[in-house]
Amino acid sequence: MRIRLIDSYLTFRNILRSVNGEISVETISKALTTYFNNYPEISKIVRECLDKNNILNWCSRLLSEFINDVEELDRAWKNTYATLPKALFMFTEKFSKNFYNELYLVLYVSCGCGAGWAFEYHETPAIYLG
């Protein structure tokens, strides 16, 4: 089984840092706009999950309430990243012979729509961790 890792969090973090300013609804909105444009698959999942009319405003307000600085986001990302080896080992031990030849593992910014999904990425089975 070939597993491909897509770490979209790094893109979001770099976009957020490039905005140069304190974390606010406006800075997060700018970062999310670019982020969602770069990852339409993630945007689609967030939109379907939350079923909100103006998803960008909703996510920006939500994230601005919980994010004080980029380092706080980094800690959450590192905690998620640290679980990957064990999770992948367990998954491949149990399912690799029965399921797929290829799998994407996508780390993403979830905007409050859950910590994980089994879905697709570029029409290939994927596990999303947010």
pLDDT, residue 113, reads 67
The whole-angstrom separation of Cα 43 and Cα 24 is: 20
Rounded to two decimals, what is the model's pTM? Answer: 0.77
CA distance 70 to 26: 15
pLDDT digits (tens, 9 = 90+) for 88-117: 777 777 766 666 778 888 888 877 666 677
Encoding tokens for residue 128? 């999303």
- One DSSP character per residue, 68-129 reads S-HHHHHHHHHHHHHHHHHHHHHHHHHHTTTS-SEEEEEE---TTS-SEEEEEETTEEEEEE
Q: Mean pLDDT over residues 68-72, rounded?
A: 76
